Every structure is written in structure tokens, then in C-alpha cells.
């Protein structure tokens, strides 16, 4: 499994991790087995959030006895992101996850509370040893500039954003901003939200062809394409151990420059959007 430095000051983290949005909607035992299978195969970056229903308790069960292997991330809802509210939300997440610390804690998206309140809470949680780093999710460049002015250089670990083959808007400005400022980019919903390319479409046919040339799956190729830059990490969800194994195998796959160029042409990033796409 390829690893990259997580932000300017962070540890080496697998480029392919495990998302948990909706993981509580299916069979819980199967979800736990899938997460554990992912850990066995090197996908030790696990992302969750207080918004994700019972995902945190599912993660707690999956990482029991293995906490030190895991780069664990959770998120605070904007409605809880006051200074006191952020600290209280973190305490609740720690209890649900049955751990004493998070490796990274994110503001899920920008809300009504001033950024300086949330940042002050993050700094306090770091001093207390309850989080090791902090970041944000769904922040566009304007938001990131405001956050940088509040927090100062070297504080923002990551920005988690929507990114998949058919939604590449972050390549215009968000990824370059993050790379300039040493901020990791974490791609959520890397297969799209019920929007993975159809094998019957021209672009989908190309994806199938590249996958076949490597004895890989189209989803593995998609993950490798999205994580082709050292700054980008992907967090696909897997509801079964088989899907987890398929995702993890992408960590060993390498695409040629020609294949990347062909995929880039088949799935154009399109014009720069007026706003940041998000789910």
C-alpha cells in the first residue's frame, strides 16, 4: 500500500483509506468484518463522523484491540462547532469510538459559528492530547483563505472534498491551494454517489479497457487515477470484505502516463464551477 505524508506536518498515511458514510445502514457484523479486512490489507486510515448515525460504534468494534494501527478521523457538525460545542462533540465521538484520541478531527462543513471559535476548540483539544491534528471538509478556496488567516500557517492538516471521475472541480483551484499550503486533500465518495461510469458509455468502455490491461477492476483504476498526485488520499466505503479487498488492491496498481492522459481526456474536469460541489 502506497503511503504519503498527510499534510505538511503529518505522518505517512495510506493513500487508500476507508470511508464509513452509510456503513451503519446494512449488516453490522459484515461491516465490521469489512473494516477489519481493510485494516489487514493496509487501509489503516478510517474516516467517520458524528453525522454518520451509528458509524462510530461500528468503527469502535472494528478497531477494538487494534487502535494503534489506525489513523482515525472523525468530524464535528457545523451546528455543534462553537468553542464549547466542538469540545463536547469530540468527547462524544471519543466515547462512541472507545478511544482516548483522534488522529485528525474535522469541521464537517462551514456553518454559522465563527471559524476562530472552532479553531480555538481544536487547539485546546490538541493541547489536551485528545486530537493530534485538525482539518476541514467541504471548504472552497475562499473559506480556506479565511481559515488560514485565523489559524496561521502549518495548522490545517487536510481538506476533505467530493472528488470522483465525473466530478473533478477541485482540480481547478482547491487542490492547487492545498498543495501550495501543505494541506492534504481527502477525496470522499470517490466512486460517485450512485454515479460510477456505466461500462456501456464511451468513457466507461475506456475505463474497462485500462482495467483489463492490468487485470484490475474499473474501481481500482478510478482510485489510482484520483490518487495520482501525492497530495490526494481517497476513502472509499466497502460494505463487504470482498469490496474492501478490491479497494485495497488499488494500492499496488500503477498506471502509465499514457493511461492517465487517456482517462483525463475521457473524464474531462470541465469548467471551473461557481461553487464547490458537495454531497
pLDDT for the residue numbered 122: 98
| Cell numbers standing for residue 103 | 488522529
Q: Strands of 45-47's sheet, edge to edge? A: 45-47, 71-76, 104-107, 134-137, 156-162, 184-188, 232-234
pLDDT category at 194 given cuts 50, 70, 90 is confident
Which of 23-37, 119-133, 177-191 has the weakest average pLDDT?
23-37
Q: 70-104: per-residue pLDDT in tens?
A: 999 999 999 999 999 999 999 999 999 999 999 99
In terms of Cα–Cα distance, which of 163, 153, 201 is closest to 185?
163
Check if 163 is active-site.
Answer: no
Numbered residues of the known binding site for substrate: 108
Among 52, 105, 113, 163, the active-site one is 52
pLDDT at 272 over 90: no
pLDDT for the residue numbered 261: 97
Q: 116-128: per-residue pLDDT in tens?
A: 999 999 999 999 9
Report d(CA 119, CA 125) in Å as an integer. Answer: 10
pLDDT at 248 over 90: yes
Mean pLDDT for 256-275 is 94
DSSP designation for 97? H
Numbered residues of the known binding site: 108
pLDDT for the residue numbered 37: 97
pLDDT at 253 over 90: yes
Amino acid at each position: 500500500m502506497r503511503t504519503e505524508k498527510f499534510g505538511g506536518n503529518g505522518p505517512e498515511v495510506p493513500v487508500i483509506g476507508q470511508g464509513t458514510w452509510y456503513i451503519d445502514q446494512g449488516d453490522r457484523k459484515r461491516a465490521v468484518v469489512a473494516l477489519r479486512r481493510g485494516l489487514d490489507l493496509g487501509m489503516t486510515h478510517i474516516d467517520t463522523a458524528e453525522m454518520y448515525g451509528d458509524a462510530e460504534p461500528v468503527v469502535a468494534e472494528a478497531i477494538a484491540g487494534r487502535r494503534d494501527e489506525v489513523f482515525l478521523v472523525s468530524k464535528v457538525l457545523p451546528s455543534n462547532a462553537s468553542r464549547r460545542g466542538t469540545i463536547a462533540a469530540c468527547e462524544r465521538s471519543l466515547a462512541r469510538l472507545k478511544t482516548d484520541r483522534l488522529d485528525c478531527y474535522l469541521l464537517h462543513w462551514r456553518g454559522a459559528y465563527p471559524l476562530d471559535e472552532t479553531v480555538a476548540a481544536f487547539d485546546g483539544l490538541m493541547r489536551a492530547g485528545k486530537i493530534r491534528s485538525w482539518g476541514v471538509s467541504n471548504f472552497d478556496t475562499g473559506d480556506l483563505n479565511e481559515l488560514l488567516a485565523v489559524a496561521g500557517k502549518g495548522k490545517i492538516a487536510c481538506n476533505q472534498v467530493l472528488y470522483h471521475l465525473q466530478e473533478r472541480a477541485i482540480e481547478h483551484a482547491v487542490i492547487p491551494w492545498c498543495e501550495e499550503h501543505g494541506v492534504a486533500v481527502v477525496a470522499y465518495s470517490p466512486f460517485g454517489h450512485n454515479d460510477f461510469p456505466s461500462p456501456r458509455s464511451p468513457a466507461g468502455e475506456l475505463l474497462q479497457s485500462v482495467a483489463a490491461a492490468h487485470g484490475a477492476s474499473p474501481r481500482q483504476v478510478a482510485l489510482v487515477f484520483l490518487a495520482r498526485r501525492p497530495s490526494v488520499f481517497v476513502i472509499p466505503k466497502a460494505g463487504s470484505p470482498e469490496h474492501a479487498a478490491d479497494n485495497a488492491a488499488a494500492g499496488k496498481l500503477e498506471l502509465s502516463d499514457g493511461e492517465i492522459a487517456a482517462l483525463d481526456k475521457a473524464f474531462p474536469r470541465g469548467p471551473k464551477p461557481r461553487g464547490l460541489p458537495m454531497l
